[in-house]
Amino acid sequence: MKIATLHPAPLNIGILGAGPAGLMTALALEAYLPAGRARITLLDRNKSETDYPGVEYGIQARACRALERIGQLEQACARGNPSRELAFYNKRLGKRFNSVAFDPAYTRNVVRQEFLADLAGLLQTSTVRRRHLVTRIAAAEDHGVTVEGTVDDVPFTSDFDLLVACDGVNSTARKQLFPNDAVIHDRGFNCIYMLVEGADQTAPDGFLETANSGRNEIVIGHFSTMTMFPLGHGRLALGIGFDHAIKDEIWKKHGLASDADWKDLPAATKKSIAVTLATDSDIHGGMLVSALDLVPDWDSYKIYLWAMRDTDPLAQPWSAAANVVLIGDAAHAIMPTIGMGASLAIEDAEALAHLIATAASGAATPAEFRAVVKDAVFMPFTAARHPVWVNLINRARRAAIGNFINVGRRRRFSIGVFRRAILTP
């Protein structure tokens, strides 16, 4: 529901980053602010939604509810596949564990690029400026914000009453505003993510049923962990995790230097590595290994290796000198071990937009708005969200120990690093 205002002076709101956090912030502001109350501008360095690796997002119940609150759940997830359950297997122990049941109305698997394109397509009045690389964020008069950067190597400057920084794990805002809290932790393992797309004639037996089902799986193998997420329309997302020591062994077997970068490997080597890992953790009688033949291009953005990293959530994700607040991965990058990255970002965005709209309704001018942002937006946002971040990041770290690291050859990895990483609420 829109929050009424007596004061039509437009606010200038900037959003850095057009990932899930940025796009959802814009959509929720459009939903909560009266028409014409704000000029909303998103700045993103990428050329398009596909100009970024990524395969699948789990849009979990917390994100579905946030989308529902702004009336966009079905539109945003129109191409998503409902999830019904998450099943756990330990192949090494030959054990199957209880499944976790999901409400399919509120749990969807989406293809990252499709979901981001669909969110962007729902925007009515916001402006998305792509190819805009932001390099500097500075305080302007009265808590305002000046953003500097380049578009196609040409400098640009923009001024805002408020900047919402949604610039992901390598956040420029975080590095500049909180240089002492900008450490990105290497969590000791990697995941190869693959989008495998099948068609009636070519897919191995059982592939299409699996890809069109609502059953997700986590399978712990002898040296790898496979996550499988059905995306519907004959598409399956596979993510195979393996720690650095296993990576070294596999790279060596393929005649590669240990620091050889995935993106520089020949396509046939990428496929051979994926087959080695999938063979270890496939519980479908080799069907998923055979399904790797469906991948037409191993150099595509749909196949990539992602090093597992996270950050400690910022206890104060805002600066009052310049009205800047960080949300999503910029404030709290989380490993994908509980599939919460995008969902947490979406939930942050809706909560923040609601507070911004409430603050805007009581401010006669942009100057008045700028003056109340710290107390009316940043502080209540942090009080509500920081405990959620700590809770979920701890869950993701515990899941990394249980499902991805402690997988057989324990000696390889010091899980003490993770034990120390559990945060105090």
Ligand X SMILES: Cc1cc2nc3c(=O)[nH]c(=O)nc-3n(C[C@H](O)[C@H](O)[C@H](O)COP(=O)(O)OP(=O)(O)OC[C@H]3O[C@@H](n4cnc5c(N)ncnc54)[C@H](O)[C@@H]3O)c2cc1C
Binding residues among 320-339 for ligand X as defined by CB under 6 A: 328-330, 336, 339
Site residue total, ligand X (CB under 6 A): 37
Which residue, 223 or 229, is less far from ligand X as judged by CB? 229
Contact between 189 and ligand X by CB under 6 A: the answer reads no
Contact between 166 and ligand X by CB under 6 A: the answer reads yes
| Segment near ligand X (CB under 6 A); pick from 168-176, 311-319, 364-372, 384-392 | 168-176
Which residue, 18 or 363, is less far from ligand X as judged by CB? 18
Contact between 178 and ligand X by CB under 6 A: the answer reads no
Identify the residue among 15, 28, 31, 43 touching ligand X (CB under 6 A).
43
Each residue 120-159 as x (binds ligand X by CB under 6 A) or -, in order, gives ------------xxx-------------------------
Each residue 194-223 as x (binds ligand X by CB under 6 A) or -, in order, gives ------------------------------
Contact between 345 and ligand X by CB under 6 A: the answer reads yes
Which residue, 94 or 155, is less far from ligand X as judged by CB? 155
Which residue, 37 or 174, is less far from ligand X as judged by CB? 174
Whether the CB-CB separation of 51 and 150 falls below 8 Å is answered with: no
Which residue, 10 or 53, is less far from ligand X as judged by CB? 53
Residue given tokens 């509980």 in the structure block: 338
Q: Which residues pair with 89 in a beta bridge?
A: 96, 219
Contact between 175 and ligand X by CB under 6 A: the answer reads no
Which residue, 33 or 327, is less far from ligand X as judged by CB? 327
Identify the residue among 167, 280, 347, 350 touching ligand X (CB under 6 A).
167
**CA–CA gap between residue 239 and residue 256 (Å, rounded):** 22
Smallest distance, ligand X to C-beta of residue 300, A: 14
Smallest distance, ligand X to C-beta of residue 144, A: 19
SS3 assignment for the chain: CCCCCCCCCCEEEEEECCCHHHHHHHHHHHHHCCCCCEEEEEEECCCCCCCCCCCEEEECHHHHHHHHHCCCHHHHCCCCEECCEEEEEECCCCEEEEEEECCHHHCEEEEHHHHHHHHHHHCCCCEEEECEEEEEEEECHHHCEEEEEEECCEEEEEEECEEEECCCCCCHHHHHHCHHHCCCEEEEEEEEEEEEECCCCCCCCCHHHHHCCCEEEEEECCCCEEEEEEEECCEEEEEEEEEHHHHHHHHHHCCCCCCCCHHHCCHHHHHHHHHHHHHHHCCCCCHHHHHHHHCCCCCCCCEEEEEEEECCCCCCCEECCCCEEECCHHHHCCCHHHCCHHHHHHHHHHHHHHHHHHHHHCCCCHHHHHHHHHHHHHHHHHHHHHHHHHHHHHHHHHHHHHHHHCCCCHHHCCCHHHHHHCCCC
Smallest distance, ligand X to C-beta of residue 110, A: 9
| Segment near ligand X (CB under 6 A); pick from 15-23, 68-76, 288-296, 368-376 | 15-23
Smallest distance, ligand X to C-beta of residue 419, A: 24
Contact between 188 and ligand X by CB under 6 A: the answer reads no
Contact between 17 and ligand X by CB under 6 A: the answer reads yes
| Segment near ligand X (CB under 6 A); pick from 82-90, 160-168, 246-254, 358-366 | 160-168
Contact between 350 and ligand X by CB under 6 A: the answer reads no
Contact between 14 and ligand X by CB under 6 A: the answer reads no
Binding residues among 294-323 for ligand X as defined by CB under 6 A: 306
Q: Give the footprint of ligand X on this chain (CB under 6 A).
A: 16-22, 43-46, 52-58, 112, 132-134, 166-169, 172, 193, 306, 328-330, 336, 339, 341-342, 345
